[in-house]
């Protein structure tokens, strides 16, 4: 008698552990609420679906949002300035294209801003 092929049994096992979602309608997470994380936790808050209770997204700290907006504004103003040296100009151009800056890059933006703030009349 021929043994069942190993490949076939592995496949059925894989299929068996897939969650059975038949009969369930997928949730669009149209209504959500915010759950704040414990102080000191890496994340500030999470957005959770009211209907299915699933995690939707992380919410950044308000101070982080303000800081990111401030950096973006400074980079926009520095990018238009003719007072920057070639290295500074290149750096501002490079980090302006990034979605997120490292703490060192943020610090460098602050330094360039501080040294040109007066020249820019700000
Ligand atoms: Zn949902």
- Which residue range is the domain that position 76 belongs to? 62-116
Q: Compute the distance from residue 47 Cα to the ligand 1 centre, in Å.
A: 11
78 is a domain residue: yes
92: number of Cβ within 10 Å = 23
Q: Are residues 53 and 84 in the same domain?
A: no
Q: Are residues 77 and 112 in the same domain?
A: yes
**75: buried, middle or exposed (CB in 10 Å: 19+, 13-18, 0-12)?**
buried
81 is a domain residue: yes
Reported as a single tens digit per residue, the pLDDT across 10-26 is: 544 555 555 666 666 78
Q: Compute the distance from residue 14 Cα to the ligand 1 centre, in Å.
A: 26
Q: Are residues 42 and 73 in the same domain?
A: no
Q: Compute the distance from residue 52 Cα to the ligand 1 centre, in Å.
A: 4
Q: How confident is the model at residue 3 (pLDDT cuts 50, 70, 90)?
A: low
17 is a domain residue: no
Q: Compute the distance from residue 97 Cα to the ligand 1 centre, in Å.
A: 34
110 is a domain residue: yes
Q: Compute the distance from residue 95 Cα to the ligand 1 centre, in Å.
A: 36
109: number of Cβ within 10 Å = 22
96 is a domain residue: yes
12 is a domain residue: no
State yes or no: pLDDT of 91 exceeds 80.
yes
**Which residues lie across from 34 on neighbouring strands?**
47
Please identify, among 11, 37, 59, the residue that sits at the C-terminal boundary of a domain. 59
State yes or no: pLDDT of 4 exceeds 70.
no
The pLDDT value recorded for residue 23 is: 66
Number of domains in the chain: 2
The pLDDT value recorded for residue 48 is: 97
């Amino acid at each position: 008698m021929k043994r069942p092929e190993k490949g076939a049994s592995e496949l059925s096992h894989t299929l068996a552990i897939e969650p059975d979602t038949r009969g369930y309608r997928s949730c669009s997470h149209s209504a959500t609420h915010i759950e704040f994380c414990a102080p000191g936790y890496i994340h500030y808050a999470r957005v959770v679906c009211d209907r299915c209770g699933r995690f939707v997204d992380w919410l950044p700290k308000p101070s982080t949002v303000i800081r990111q907006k401030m950096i973006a504004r400074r980079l926009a103003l520095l990018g238009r300035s003719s007072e920057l040296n070639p290295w500074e100009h290149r750096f501002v151009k490079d980090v302006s294209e990034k979605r997120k800056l490292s703490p060192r890059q943020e610090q460098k933006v602050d330094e360039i801003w501080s040294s040109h703030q007066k020249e820019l009349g700000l």
